[in-house]
Copies of this chain bind each other. A is one copy, B any other.
């Protein structure tokens, strides 16, 4: 729920920056907080998805919208807090998403990819719907890779019977730490091609 909330805040903040109204804010907050899990559940065949099976999941987006409405300036001032909170959501979602996929009989590698989908899918939907280039594609730091590492580690732990509350927290913390370090030290990945772009191509 905490992960949903922090993701939802980023959706609502995008609505505020774009001068959308409060219903648009609620739509973007819900998409960001719950979209990744819904996409995972639709792919593995969990009907209805968790967000629709348990309506309490829509409470964090509502709270996020209210907070952004009343405290927008305050929220943006805590930019570092927000980035860290988002990293927290990333860590929790990639572990939980991988485990749920394995529970539904998906093989470990695909389960890890679905864990990443859970973690980054909400932010992707937020940006696609708001018609901006997704931040996951234009990151100046590393975003999806820590989630992939956390999800891959989770799949390995389950595979070798070592997954429990402690190792789950460790996998999430690893993701969060890698993400935080990548923000602090502005880690970059190589571009899709090191060659410069041919003009007019």
A residues touching B (Cβ–Cβ < 8 Å)?
12, 15-25, 27-28, 38, 42-45, 47-49, 51-53, 55, 58, 65, 68-69, 72-73, 76, 104-107, 109-110, 113-114, 124, 127-134, 136-139, 142, 144-145, 188-195, 197-198, 201
A44 → B minimal CB distance (Å)? 6
Copies of this chain held together in the complex:
3
A43/B44 in contact, CB under 8 A: no
A127 → B minimal CB distance (Å)? 8
B137/A20 in contact, CB under 8 A: yes
- Give the residue of B22, B28, B137 whose beta carbon is less than 8 angstroms from that of A130: B137
24 A-B residue pairs with CB within 8 Å:
A15-B192, A16-B191, A16-B195, A16-B197, A18-B133, A18-B192, A19-B192, A20-B137, A23-B144, A28-B137, A38-B43, A43-B52, A44-B48, A45-B45, A45-B47, A48-B105, A51-B110, A52-B106, A52-B113, A68-B193, A69-B194, A72-B193, A72-B194, A127-B131
- B contact residues around A197 at 8 Å (CB): 16-17, 19
Secondary structure type dominating chain A contacts: helix
